[in-house]
Chain A
């Protein structure tokens, strides 16, 4: 086999596994980015706020997806890490007087440590039992946040209010527009990091652990380290999302970080598509906008829809929306036939 065809086949393999982007994908990505950055000038401040929230949820969904979709570890407790991130931001800004942008890395670090520590005992737990332990974490979180001894910082049942940051350099945009752009930028950085982490050796190790832990450790993958680190990284993403979400809502209160928030993240993962990075965006949008429309029917309707969506997606569309889009893409390129055939995946 000559070098050229070898290189070509390697490139195709890279394309197929999502490790590299084809030209059409790059164009699509650029257009999507352009639309995302232009969006705040075409919608109201309230919609801006909603999209900021969707971005925050998308990051949390991505964090959960790294853990569930790529590493096969189950968590029903990510609302806890979202809460830690949110409270870190609130306490730093209101009690420490820090600027909002400092809260992002700190919230991430705090959650990385918290996630890593929770991941250590969780190492011994498989599938179902991990789900149980994280379920317990999630149900217990609101009570822990209300605890009297920490209420000087957390505000107890009342929670903490946060002042909304102003746009810097006297930019002529509203606070909501600025927060949207800021969150979008943070999200982009995190998404690129996730893509970079998951497309290479680390990503393969994570998937190997998911698919066959025994074979993975036989191949020399340090299963324990990877699993607890994945828990930490997943919590880091969720914590940063929590900090941004808290700044956007301008308020943190214990009862908002309940078990149902964890389910909402799970809904986002399933709808977006397990083990897909772009799917998280759809997940975030769905979490914000389905309740928005469904609540006009009944207060209970969003959760009825979420529940039905979880079950129906598991039956009919286990690869989620992103999987569906990829299927359509593959179908179109196959229909066009010819040389682009091999690029369809």
Chain B
């Protein structure tokens, strides 16, 4: 039973990171109807920025906020400059540009900071609060930060005029334009927010897996799996999906003998294909009906 609880809470901690990535994926999907394959590499790049800031003596939480701000601006710029020319052409063109971005961010990180593995500090105290022992302090912090990010995103979309405008732009671009919303800038804003959320995921995961240019590849896969499981059209569902995938991954790794730690990525593959084939809208998503 102890093992079971341990695995579950470990899973929740990793699930928090997957949930952050899933949330970032859903942000862009909501705004533009596309999955950003470069999401993980953008988060990784942000984490390197945080690493550099910390290296220069910036206090952790200032570096944290500064990285989010830089990532936000970076995300907006990427959308404005690189993604915009192919927007609305075809899925093929867009995915190819995303893959190009992935390769560029990955190699730039390797070029600037080289490929050696770097340690990244955890901002959380050595002991979890309230005398909790069944979960590590960093894991506890990760779950807390994830929930805070989710709450912020929810409040932003629910109670601010900009959030409302973004939802309108995503749901019905033409009508939104008619009432004076600048749809193009809303997309850019979506990219910026996604990049900022992604940077949080990167900074949370780096203390666990160590910082290196390929650290986000597997995590992005789980983020996608979480987003799909929860429903790609639903931010709350995506976060729930992320947590579920994290727990599921640990359970399967512990209790299914032939999987172990060796086939964890295959679990994500099977999960993605299964969800896509049997329930493409996910657990909490709404079914999109398309007219011929």
Contact = CB atoms under 8 A, between A and B. Distances in A.
A303 B273 CA distance: 29
Contacts of B155: none
Interface residues of B, number: 45
A259 to B, nearest CB: 6
Interface stretch (A34-42, A133-141, A201-209, A335-343): A133-141
Interface stretch (B54-62, B100-108, B125-133): B100-108
A136 B269 contact: yes
Contacts of B262: 143, 146-148
B110 A299 contact: yes
A343 B115 CA distance: 53
Contact of B97 (A132, A147, A298, A311): A311
B221 A136 contact: yes
Given A135-B221, A146-B262, A300-B107, A266 B99 contact: yes
Given A74-B95, A127-B92, A311-B82, A133 B272 contact: yes
A318 B99 CA distance: 15
B266 interface: yes
B224 A132 contact: yes
Contacts, number: 136
A260 B91 CA distance: 20
Given A149-B258, A311-B100, A301 B277 contact: no
A315 interface: yes
Contact of A124 (B35, B99, B277): B277
Q: Counting chain B CB atoms within 10 Å of each CB, which of A148, A260, A274, A307 scores highest?
A: A307
A92 B85 CA distance: 48
A151 to B, nearest CB: 10
A143 B99 contact: no
Nearest to B104: A307
B33 to A, nearest CB: 8
Contacts of A259: 217
A140 B273 CA distance: 13
B99 A310 contact: yes
A74 B92 CA distance: 7
A82 to B, nearest CB: 17
The 3 closest A-B pairs by CB, nearest first: A310-B100, A307-B103, A307-B104
